[in-house]
């Protein structure tokens, strides 16, 4: 955190004095790294509330700067300061109020034009302003340069390059902020319009000052009146219809952008080449015919690598695991800890958690590939490429992004559906996102396909993703058809506008090793943490119910409580080829977290008896012994593909759907669907074998 770092900058007292306590507002475009920058200062000292009267989030934090307390407010991410959305209105009100002393405009330096639009509007408001050029590291990576000195000259405000990610420039930014409190921005003419407009502004300023001599910055309000800004017209209800004969909004926006182009041309170097490069790459990747197949090929490759490549390292981890298991056993035996504790540690915890850890290489590769796609800029194109297919099933290309995220974890995927404004589309997407197998199911697929399908294992695993996607799209299609039927009856002609694709495509860039590393590392950490917590817990619980029966501690697990529970499901799962109490129990355990299915199988099948080694070879024997073969395995994979997601995902679905009834419906739907699907597969394919 800043205050902890050694400060070499002694506070000077040039233009402005250092105030004891400053209120600083952070504003900027979405995805400009504003929140990361905000967090870099405030750390954990954060307070989240709502702006009074609205559902817009207000984040407040504080931090110490040279013995002063600075209070920071993180404003919503917005593109402009009109009065069309609540976020914009709230931000504007806050900036104009006395509650804030200095505004920090966090701009994505790699996207300068778009971010400058907001900056110009902020300059027009006139409150003390500092421009933080964030993501300067990205600009450098892309081989571009920004002449910050010239930018400072043209905008007349401090321009501070920072990198929130690399934590550079943070001190200098605060230094600039602390000296900006006395900045008189109102009387500087930075954005100058064409003569006709400036004339009108002058006239409006006179009228405004006559109406309210204490007005804060008449020029700003005059411009807003010229744009026919509703909120400002209400605040200053003077008759200006002779001056404002029409809305000059478009003219004003255009002239602002003209100025922005000028600025960019003078301060941004090397941009042209990037555009040409992106055009060339996009001509292939977003080709009207080949774009979609190329996408599928890329995704297929990603999953293939996940399954095939990871397995080499997995083998080594498995050996380590076996070694650890037997070593622990011997050590504990020597220490005479007794069979119960030994069993708990070796058969329960090490078997349960260890098996999961062996799949880490596969998971890492998946996230590595996804990070690559995201960082290079290709992810944005996916919505565009999939839009054709998605609209045929009644969804927009935007709805594919949550589905794609679902390959990582269902929870953030469901949260990502918030970007879909159409409520019906949201529900439909939430319904089919669980069909996109989350990374927690990967251990199951790898285990089963590895045990039973030999060299076809990657294919078998890949088929789960294909089936999941196809079923998801079909489901959306059917629901859409039903909807259309219902709409016709109710005679509703729903406008498709909210449904429409509208995305921004960033220029392509070579993926940054650092950001990829962080992304992958975060996910690896999360995976290991989950192993050490949720899965640990589940393993211990499982061990208990498998090692204790009505007669106390049991050696033979088929006499345990767990077995009794599993046996309840045997008749139900029988037709699907899953009529084994061990399988039933594992599937139930999978409700806690999908990885636990593998954990429980590790606990159940990993040991033929207490003597033999832990490991998948033992599992193979144990499974064969109860009559569980390749077809059963595939049927189980199908079941796992479709059945209810883990409690975490269910909880999020419940939260987003805001109705227990609907959540229960989803729960039941997926359970029944999985059951029917696995029966179908087992019975029909069974006819041919």
Partner 1 sequence: MTLKEAKNGKLYVVEESTIGQPVKRRLEAMGLIEGTLIRKINQALDGSIIFMVRGNRLAIGKELADYILLREALDSDLERGRRGSCRDHGRGRGHGRGHGHGRGFRGTCARGQALGKMLDSDLSGMEDKN
Partner 2 sequence: MLKYLIGVVIAAYVIYLVYRQVKNFKNKNYCATCSGCPSASSCGQFKDDTQS
| Options 65-73, 138-146, 185-193, 621-629: segment touching partner 1 (CB under 8 A) | 185-193
Residue 358: strand, helix, or coil: coil
| Options 29-37, 91-99, 300-308, 317-325: segment touching partner 2 (CB under 8 A) | 29-37
354 binds partner 1 (CB under 8 A): no
Using CB under 8 A, pick the residue from 21, 99, 153, 199 that binds partner 1: 153
Q: What is the dihedral angle through the alpha carbons of 186, 188, 194, 199, rounded to the nearest 10 degrees? A: 60
Using CB under 8 A, pick the residue from 170, 173, 345, 623 that binds partner 2: 345
Output the smallest distance, CB 409 to partner 2, in A.
Answer: 6
396 binds partner 1 (CB under 8 A): yes
Residues 260-299 that bind partner 1 (CB under 8 A): 260-262, 264-266, 271-272, 275-276, 278-279, 282-283, 286-289, 291
Binding mask 98-137 for partner 2 (x = CB under 8 A): ------------x------------------------x--
258 binds partner 1 (CB under 8 A): yes
Question: Residue 221 in contact with residue 186, Cβ under 8 Å?
Answer: no
- DSSP assignment letter at 507: P
Residue 270 to residue 676: CA distance in whole angstroms: 58
Output the smallest distance, CB 250 to partner 1, in A.
Answer: 5
Question: Residue 394 in contact with residue 428, Cβ under 8 Å?
Answer: yes
**Residue with Cβ nearer partner 1 (249 or 483):** 249
Binding at 47: pick from partner 1, partner 2, none (beta carbon under 5-8 Å per type): none
Residue 370 to residue 299: CA distance in whole angstroms: 9
Strand partners of residue 147:
none
Bridging pattern class, strands 548-549 and 552-553: antiparallel
CA separation (Å) from 30 to 80, 106, 334, 427, 578?
11, 10, 60, 25, 49
Binding mask 374-393 for partner 2 (x = CB under 8 A): xx------------------
Binding at 649: pick from partner 2, partner 1, none (beta carbon under 5-8 Å per type): partner 2
CA separation (Å) from 675 to 155, 334, 346, 641?
64, 47, 33, 11
Sign of CA dihedral 191, 195, 201, 207: positive
Binding at 540: pick from partner 2, partner 1, none (beta carbon under 5-8 Å per type): partner 2
Binding at 671: pick from partner 1, partner 2, none (beta carbon under 5-8 Å per type): none
Binding mask 482-521 for partner 1 (x = CB under 8 A): --------------xx-xxxxxxxxx--------------
Output the smallest distance, CB 651 to partner 1, in A.
Answer: 32
Binding mask 57-76 for partner 2 (x = CB under 8 A): x-------------------
156 binds partner 1 (CB under 8 A): yes
Bridging pattern class, strands 102-108 and 21-28: parallel
Output the smallest distance, CB 432 to partner 2, in A.
Answer: 18
Residues 226-255 that bind partner 1 (CB under 8 A): 250, 253-254
388 binds partner 1 (CB under 8 A): yes
Provide φ and ψ at 658, rounded to 5°: 55, 35
Binding at 337: pick from partner 1, partner 2, none (beta carbon under 5-8 Å per type): partner 2
Output the smallest distance, CB 659 to partner 1, in A.
Answer: 27
**Residue with Cβ nearer partner 2 (155 or 592):** 592
526 binds partner 2 (CB under 8 A): yes
CA separation (Å) from 602 to 135, 535, 618, 632?
46, 12, 10, 17
Nearest to 440 by CA among 677, 667, 644: 644
Radius of gyration over every alpha carbon of the chain, rounded to an integer in angstroms: 30
Bridging pattern class, strands 102-108 and 129-134: parallel
List, edge to edge, every strand of the sheet that includes 68-77: 46-50, 57-65, 68-77, 21-28, 102-108, 129-134, 159-161
CA separation (Å) from 157 to 21, 32, 33, 100, 150?
22, 19, 20, 17, 11
Which residues 6+ apart lie within 8 Å of 102 measured at CB?
Answer: 22, 23, 24, 25, 127, 128, 129, 130, 177, 180, 181, 183
Residue 87 to residue 522: CA distance in whole angstroms: 30
28 binds partner 2 (CB under 8 A): no
| Options 7-15, 471-479, 650-658, 676-684: segment touching partner 2 (CB under 8 A) | 650-658
Residue 483, Cβ density class (10 Å: 0-12 exposed, 13-18 middle, ≥19 buried): middle
Binding at 385: pick from partner 2, partner 1, none (beta carbon under 5-8 Å per type): partner 1
**Residue with Cβ nearer partner 1 (392 or 525):** 392
Nearest to 539 by CA among 593, 618, 613: 593
Residues 54-73 that bind partner 1 (CB under 8 A): none
Residue 443, Cβ density class (10 Å: 0-12 exposed, 13-18 middle, ≥19 buried): buried
| Options 58-66, 128-136, 186-194, 458-466: segment touching partner 1 (CB under 8 A) | 186-194
Q: Which ranges in 186-229 belong to alpha helices (H)? A: 195-211, 218-226
Strand partners of residue 71:
23, 62
Residue 668 to residue 678: CA distance in whole angstroms: 15
Output the smallest distance, CB 426 to partner 2, in A.
Answer: 14
Binding at 189: pick from partner 1, partner 2, none (beta carbon under 5-8 Å per type): partner 1
Residue 43 to residue 676: CA distance in whole angstroms: 50
Query: How many other CB atoms are there within 10 angstroms of residue 510's CB atom?
Result: 11
Residues 209-248 that bind partner 2 (CB under 8 A): none
Output the smallest distance, CB 352 to partner 2, in A.
Answer: 13
Strand partners of residue 179:
none
Binding at 254: pick from partner 1, partner 2, none (beta carbon under 5-8 Å per type): partner 1
478 binds partner 2 (CB under 8 A): no
Binding at 48: pick from partner 1, partner 2, none (beta carbon under 5-8 Å per type): partner 2
554 binds partner 2 (CB under 8 A): no
Bridging pattern class, strands 46-50 and 57-65: antiparallel
Binding site for partner 2 (CB under 8 A): 30-31, 33, 35-36, 39, 46, 48, 57, 77, 110, 135, 138, 164-165, 335-338, 340-341, 344-345, 349, 371, 374-375, 405, 408-409, 411-412, 415-416, 418-419, 512, 515, 518-519, 522-523, 525-527, 529-530, 533-534, 536-537, 540, 647-649, 651-652, 655
Binding site for partner 1 (CB under 8 A): 79-80, 82, 84-85, 113-114, 117, 150, 153-154, 156, 188-190, 192, 194, 250, 253-254, 257-262, 264-266, 271-272, 275-276, 278-279, 282-283, 286-289, 291, 380-381, 383-385, 387-388, 391, 396-397, 496-497, 499-507
């Amino acid at each position: 955190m800043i205050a902890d770092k050694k400060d070499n900058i002694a506070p000077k007292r040039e233009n402005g004095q250092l105030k004891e306590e400053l209120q600083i507002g952070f504003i900027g475009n979405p995805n400009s790294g504003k929140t990361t920058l905000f967090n870099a200062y405030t750390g954990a000292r954060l307070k989240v509330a709502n702006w009074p009267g609205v559902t817009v989030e207000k984040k407040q934090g504080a931090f110490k700067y040279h013995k002063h307390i600075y209070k920071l407010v993180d404003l919503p991410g917005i593109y402009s300061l009109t009065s069309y959305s609540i976020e914009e209105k709230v931000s504007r009100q806050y900036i104009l109020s006395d509650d804030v002393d200095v505004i920090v405009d966090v701009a994505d330096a790699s996207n300068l034009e778009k971010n400058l639009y907001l900056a110009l509007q902020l300059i027009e408001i006139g409150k003390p302003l500092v421009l933080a050029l964030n993501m300067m590291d990205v600009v450098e990576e892309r081989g571009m340069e920004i002449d910050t000195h010239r930018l400072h000259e043209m905008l007349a405000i401090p321009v501070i390059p920072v990198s929130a990610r690399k934590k550079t420039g943070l001190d200098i930014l605060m230094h600039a902020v602390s000296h900006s409190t006395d900045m008189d921005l109102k009387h500087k003419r930075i954005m100058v319009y064409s003569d006709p407009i400036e004339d009108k502004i002058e006239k409006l300023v006179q009228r405004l000052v006559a109406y309210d001599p204490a007005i804060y910055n008449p020029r700003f309000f005059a411009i807003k009146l010229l744009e026919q800004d509703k909120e400002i017209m209400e605040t200053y209800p003077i008759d200006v219809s002779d001056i404002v004969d029409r809305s000059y909004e478009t003219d004003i926006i255009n002239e602002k952008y003209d100025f922005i182009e000028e600025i960019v041309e003078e301060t941004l170097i090397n941009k042209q080449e990037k555009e040409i490069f992106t055009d060339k790459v996009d001509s292939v990747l977003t080709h009207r015919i080949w774009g979609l197949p190329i996408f599928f090929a890329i995704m297929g490759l990603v999953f293939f690598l996940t399954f095939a490549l990871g397995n080499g390292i997995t083998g080594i981890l498995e050996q380590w695991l076996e070694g650890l298991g037997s070593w622990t056993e011997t050590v504990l035996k020597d220490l005479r800890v007794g069979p119960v504790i030994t069993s708990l540690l070796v058969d329960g915890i090490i078997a349960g958690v260890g098996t999961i850890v062996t799949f880490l290489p596969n998971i890492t590769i998946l996230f590595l590939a996804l990070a690559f796609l995201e960082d290079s800029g290709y992810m944005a194109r996916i919505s565009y490429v999939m839009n054709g297919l998605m609209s045929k099933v009644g969804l927009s290309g935007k709805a594919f992004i949550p589905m794609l995220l679902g390959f990582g974890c269902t929870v953030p995927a469901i949260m990502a559906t918030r970007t879909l404004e159409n409520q019906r589309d949201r529900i439909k997407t939430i319904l089919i996102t669980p069909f996109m197998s989350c990374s927690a199911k990967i251990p199951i697929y790898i285990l089963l396909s590895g045990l039973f399908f030999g060299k076809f294992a990657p294919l078998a695993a890949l088929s789960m993703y294909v089936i999941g996607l196809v079923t998801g799209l079909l489901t959306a299609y059917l629901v859409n058809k039903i909807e259309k039927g219902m709409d016709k009856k109710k005679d509703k002609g729903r406008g498709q506008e909210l449904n429409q694709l509208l995305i921004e495509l960033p220029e392509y860039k070579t993926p940054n090793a650092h950001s990829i590393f962080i992304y992958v590392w975060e996910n690896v950490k999360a995976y290991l943490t989950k192993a050490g917590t949720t899965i640990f817990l589940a393993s211990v619980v499982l061990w208990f119910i498998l090692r204790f029966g009505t007669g106390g501690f049991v050696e033979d697990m088929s006499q345990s409580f767990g077995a009794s529970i599993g046996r309840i499901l045997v008749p139900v799962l029988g037709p699907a080829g899953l009529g084994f109490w061990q399988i039933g129990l594992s599937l139930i355990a999978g409700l806690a977290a999908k990885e636990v299915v593998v954990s429980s199988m590790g606990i159940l099948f990993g040991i033929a008896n207490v003597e033999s080694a832990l490991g998948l070879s033992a599992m193979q024997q144990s499974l064969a012994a109860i009559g569980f073969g390749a077809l059963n395995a595939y049927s189980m994979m199908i079941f796992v593909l479709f059945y209810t997601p883990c409690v975490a995902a269910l909880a999020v679905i419940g939260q987003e759907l805001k109705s227990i009834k609907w959540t229960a419906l989803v729960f039941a739907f997926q359970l029944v669907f999985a059951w029917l699907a696995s029966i179908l597969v087992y019975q029909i394919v069974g006819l041919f074998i």
